[in-house]
Amino acid sequence: MDVLILHGWKLSGSRFEPLVQELKKKNLRVFAPDMPGFGKGKKLERPYALSDYVAFVHEYIQQHKLKKPVIIGHSFGGRVSIILAAEYPELIEKLVLTGVPGVLLVSRAKLLFFLGLAKMGGLVFRLPVLSQFESLARKVLYRVARASDYQTSSGNLRETFKKIIAEDLVVPMRKISCPVLLLWGKDDRNSPEEIAKKMRKFIPKVKLDIVEGEAHGFPFENPKEFSARVIDFINKPYYLVS
C-alpha cells in the first residue's frame, strides 16, 4: 500500500523522514514531497489557493503512479488533503488528519480583521506612546487571530496564507467519503483538540484519537507512536471507524 504525507506550513517533506522510516518498516511505499513554496519545492511566482495545491498533489499521485494511497495531512497539508478527498474520492483509500485547523475558533471576519490590523501595525505603533509595545502587541494580534504563521511569511507566501485561511473547509469535509482518522496531540496549541472535536461533526466516516502528552509536532516528534496508530487505522475495516 502507498502512503502520501503532506507537510505543514513552513515545513517540508524531509521533516517527516522519521515517520517515513517507521512506516516503511511495515512494507509500505511512503512519499513525502515538498509542496510549492516550501523546502525544495517550486518557488511561488504568484499567490496560491488551496486548489493550486490540490492540483499539485493530484499530478504528483499520477506521476508517481500511487495506487489509492493513504494520505497523512499535517496542519496545512491537512487542508489540502480535505479538498483533495472531497473532489477526488476515487484517488484516496483513507485519510489521516493531524493538527489541521479545519474549523476556525474565531469568526472568519474577525480573523481577516486581525490580519489586516496586524499588517497596519507598523504604522499604528510608530506613535511614540505605543512604540514600546509594538513587539508584544503584534504577538497578541497573531495569537488572537490564530494565524502566527502569517508573521513569519512574506511575499507570495504571505498572500498565499491569507487566501488559504479564507477558504471554508466545512462543506468539503461533509463530502469526504473515505474513512478519516483525526489523530491529535492533546497538547497541540496550534490546533487545539477543540478543533478536532468540531471537525468530527462534519466528517461522515470518522474516528477521533486524541493522544496524551503529544503536541502539534506529534507525527515527527514521536513517529513510532504516530505510525503505530496509523497502521492500526489502515488495518481496520471502514465499518469499525466511529
Residue 58 falls inside a structural domain? yes
Domain count, the chain: 1
The answer to whether position 114 is within a domain reads no
Q: What is the pLDDT of residue 132?
A: 47
User: Does any domain span residue 148?
Assistant: no
Residues of the chain with pLDDT under 50: 120-127, 129-134, 136-137, 140-146, 150
Cell output for 99: 493538527
- The residues, any chain, with a CB within 8 Å of residue 61's CB and separated by 6 or more, are 4, 69, 91
Contact indicator for 72, 162 with CB cutoff of 8 Å:
no
Asked if residue 99 is part of any domain, the answer here is: yes
150 in a domain, yes or no? no
Model pTM score:
0.82
- Residue 210: what pLDDT? 97
Query: Rounded CA gap, 173 and 143, in Å?
Result: 25
- Identify the pLDDT of residue 107: 52
| pLDDT score, position 134 | 47
pLDDT attached to residue 156: 87
**E strand or H helix that includes residue 26:** none
CATH number at residue 17: 3.40.50.1820
Is 139 a domain residue? no
Residue 208's domain comprises: 2-105+161-240
